[in-house]
A and B are shown apart, each in its own frame.
Chain A
């Protein structure tokens, strides 16, 4: 049922491959490459399965010998034995070819022949069988079922039924139903024609009697009080007595008959029946001061504190207990080769996760990152004089630098030159939520472009916010003052294209782009209105603008102060762009502009959150409000600030 199973080294050499059901030999490489690129290299290794087109891929890393085991099968199948199979194959492959792996360098892998097919087929057969074999659930025998507990006779319903058994059952059921009611109820005058008589003799009932019986049952069910257990309909007896006068409940009956009050308690001081008044349950807290209003209690904190308090005493006790052994153990851990286990890494990873969250990385991303690092380090052999903490910190640092490295080329000037060569303007769109600094950074970027000799057209597609167009006009005027046309051969370097307020943003953008093409502008910067990611109509409008105008670069402007919100914003923006695009491959966010970077000291986690979620690079970093405060990202500096204690 498997499509393929590959074993390859982390250095790239395929050690062994198994082609399962169908497909040419090369069919395994493309999905596996996709797996490597999207999962392993982007530090999403927490979850061990990955879907690519029609295949599901499950993988396992061997960090000691630097191997990767990947199995691929059809997405629609749900194979339960795959995890176990991978583990078994891992163990056996590793044991069988231990010699090749332990050679230094890659020569062992290059020269070794890995003839694993028979072993693999055997393991596959075992795994398949183990998943198939399961004892069918045995049906319960009749004796075990509940039904046999009841007597058979009571289940038979016939016309000429002896009422005795029914009465007996009702007697059994009756006390259960009426057990809570006060037994000492005085004889109440019920609809008097039903007088309890002795348990009836075994007489056959006529049709009328059956009717009466059913009527009785109906009435009985609707009566709340009263004891009816010993009642049995004896219409025959009553009929023979003759017609008795009907006594109505509300009718002309004596007041005495209707007086239900308890003679003993009538008129006494305690009107309530003698039930137990539990003072504590009524008042609640015993220790409260009378008359004082208390604040809301935060029970969760108390519980958490209690847990911590109980944990802490246990930890020092274990430390004290194994102090001497611990010292030697620490020395032993420093020297010699020790392979990392999950238990060793967990406390360190917890600390690192908290550290990352304290540095403003979104919580779920910190968790995923730590999971991925744990997967990468599990089983790895540490060198001499390296502690667990240092290994984990090193791995985390590498992972963070890896995330911040751009996955594609980030060179706006080069692309602008390319577009100029093709005689078309390079269109950049800025989108983001309210108040992140889109217009400010747009002005900074246009300043930078002008400094490099490109002419810029600013399209004011923010037709909603009051003063947006005026803001851009002020920027245009200032930039032209800084770079007057005389310095650039008589052409105005910056121009504003605006159509006032209230118009359709996508239409203005389209007109601006064609105007730029006619007038020969190099770059068009499109400023859009800020919008919340949950606002569906506005997101639709933005998606329409981007889908219709097909800009060269879609920049998401996000502020560095944002915390967990960054994840939500980016995910929803990307989703909106993908949903409303008609194209096969929708235009998503191409890059991120991180603004207000000067307001955070070293809590630079937002950079990590944003690049992790989108895997798009941070193109610009805004570090202030003047035109010169535009920087590019330095991955090492950011990671250093992040890992600083």
Chain B
């Protein structure tokens, strides 16, 4: 396993020469400057040729520029919570959002480090002052940007008061039984998913 170790240790470290360092260090996507809204070269050329008429709008000028990363940490987090069929929260300013990531409950405050998190079936809570709104999210992703914008996308998310506890218990019992009686890998995986989702629903209702 370590046959190649000597060769790998002997190769030159990439950051020794400044030219190589500039090439090998890739910028993070959060380091990009705010996108341009108009092509300056085009506007220049137009003004030279036709100074009286305003230059026409290009598709670039209709796009909203990415909100710049503020120099100091903003006081509120802007949340966009979308589902395939509806936009639950659209640019809502809140204090904190707790999302159920696969790596555990992720609490997002303004000024959070840019993160992409895959969500697992679990409870998501939106905290604004003293109000807490809880949703059960089936799965999805959370993108947290450097400018304290959080985009949370989920396939299915319901406020927890719409969940029926009896159906959850029945489902849990049914899938635990299926896990034990499953034969193929795929059946076992499906039954395991059922157990995971129903136990998450259960703890969301009781927790």
A and B interact: no
